Structure 1
Amino acid sequence: MNRRQWMMIGGISVLALVAGILSSHWISQTGLASDPSIKAFFANPWKTPDGKSANSDDWRGKVLVVNFWASWCPPCVEEMPTLDKIAQEYASKNVLIVGIGIDSPSNIRQFLEKTPVSYPIMIGGLDGSALAKQMGNAQGALPYTVIINAKGKSVFTKLGKISEEELKKAINSAI
């Protein structure tokens, strides 16, 4: 091939790349991209530690901070006071924090007796761990936080302990 053909191929490649990036951004911004993991999250039959059913439809239309945690996970336990503080601080701003315990109901109940929080805690169990992986937690480690905006789109994820500043910044950009 001569130089002119290589330049033409290069130019077409660059145009295709730019078109792909722009269309991907547009699909993402318009909400045309559907995230099956978010649908699976809302479709899950969530239960509270005392066995009552939770209606995840009540969570729709809010900025949802989903925190996957376990009572045996030190960083999870360390971030809970921050999550509790922010849950109370942002409640009037249509923000809800939901904790998904990757643990047995009895362990979660015992833990919450000693460390109560104001935000709802759901039982995740092994299904919760699989759901966290679907939502981007490829390592399966804890804690794992996902922020879903009011339109039902995942806009932020964090593996590991989250700081108050980092969480506030992420929530504020999702509001």
Structure 2
Amino acid sequence: MNRRQWLIIVVISLLALLGGALTSQWISKTGLANDPSIKAFFANSWQSPDGKPVNSTEWQGKVLVVNFWASWCPPCVEEMPTLDLLQQEFLQQNVLFVGIGIDSPSNIREFLKSTPVSYPIVIGGLEGSNLSKQMGNSQGALPYTVIISTKGKAVYTKLGKISEEELRKAIKYAF
């Protein structure tokens, strides 16, 4: 091959690379990318602490504040009043908080008797712990919060106790 043919191949390769990169960014920004962990979240057979099935498909199309927690975790317990307060405030704005208890159903039931919340609590167990890892919680520690946009894309994560100010900013960003 001569120099001109090599140059044409290099230019075409660079254009293909640029096209691929721009397409990837567009897919990501439009929410068309399929995140397996978000699919797993909605596909899970969640149950309430009293053993009743919870239909997570009703949560689709909302901004979701998913909080992985446990009754034995002091920072989890400390942030729950803030989560409850903001759930009540944002309820009319298509925002739903969901607590995934990484604990036994009996511990969660007992805990909720003394600390009731206005948002749904589901039993996560080992599956919930694995899901939190799939959603970016590489350490597997608690509490862990994920905010999912109306398009079904994780737009914010936080390991550790989340503040009211952090939550407000992240929720606004999710719209």
* Larger CA deviation: 20-29 vs 57-66: 20-29
Q: CA deviation at 1:23?
A: 3.8
Instruction: State the distance in 2 between where 1:15 and 1:109 align.
Output: 58
Instruction: State the distance in 2 between where 1:133 and 1:19 align.
Output: 32
In structure 2, stretches of 5+ residues that fail to align are: 1-13
Equivalent position amino acid for 2:169 in 1: K
Instruction: State the distance in 1 between where 2:57 and 2:115 align.
Output: 27
TM-score using structure 2 length: 0.88
The one-character-per-residue Cα deviations of 1:14-71 (angstroms, maximum 9, x if unpaired) are 9898766544321201223110000000000000000000000110110010000000
**Cα–Cα, structure 1 residues 72 and 15, in superposed 2: closer, same or farther, change >3 Å?**
farther
Instruction: State the distance in 1 between where 2:24 and 2:91 align.
Output: 33
**Cα–Cα, structure 1 residues 37 and 85, in superposed 2: closer, same or farther, change >3 Å?**
same
Aligned pairs for 1:121-160 within 5 A: 121-160=121-160
Specify the SS of the correspondent of 1:136: coil
Equivalent position amino acid for 2:82 in 1: T
Q: Does 1:172 align with 2:134?
A: no
Instruction: State the distance in 2 between where 1:143 and 1:15 align.
Output: 45
Instruction: State the distance in 2 between where 1:17 and 1:78 align.
Output: 49
Instruction: State the distance in 1 between where 2:160 and 2:17 align.
Output: 33
Equivalent position amino acid for 1:63 in 2: V
Q: Which runs of 4+ in 1 moved over 6 A?
A: 14-20
Q: CA RMSD in A?
A: 1.9
Specify the SS of the correspondent of 1:156: strand
In structure 1, stretches of 5+ residues that fail to align are: 1-13
Equivalent position amino acid for 1:106 in 2: S
> What is the percent sequence identity of the aligned residues?
75
Q: State how many pairs are aligned.
A: 165
